[in-house]
């Protein structure tokens, strides 16, 4: 068993390294995702009409009590 593992390790060590998907396209995918993330949140923050303010003072009005 040890000899078989050793032969496999030697074969893999001598084989030329082949780039996989992440080596080829990893940075491109990361940049694309960051661009989409920035665009979507940029739209949300600027165009969605959300009123940003953490304090509820003056915004909450009591409802009339119904009996």
Domain boundaries, the chain: 1-48
Give domain 1-48's CATH architecture: Irregular (4.10)
pLDDT, position 29: 96
> What is each CA distance from 13 to 44, 53, 59, in whole angstroms?
50, 59, 68
Gap between the Cα atoms of 39 and 41, Å rounded: 6
47-60 pLDDT per residue, tens: 877 666 677 666 66
pTM: 0.48
């Amino acid at each position: 068993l040890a000899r078989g593992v050793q032969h496999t390790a030697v074969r893999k060590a001598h084989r030329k390294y082949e780039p996989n998907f992440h080596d080829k396209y990893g940075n491109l995918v990361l940049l694309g995702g960051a661009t989409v993330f920035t665009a979507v949140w940029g739209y949300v923050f600027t165009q969605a009409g959300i009123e940003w303010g953490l304090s509820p003072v003056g915004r909450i009005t009591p409802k009339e009590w119904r009996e």
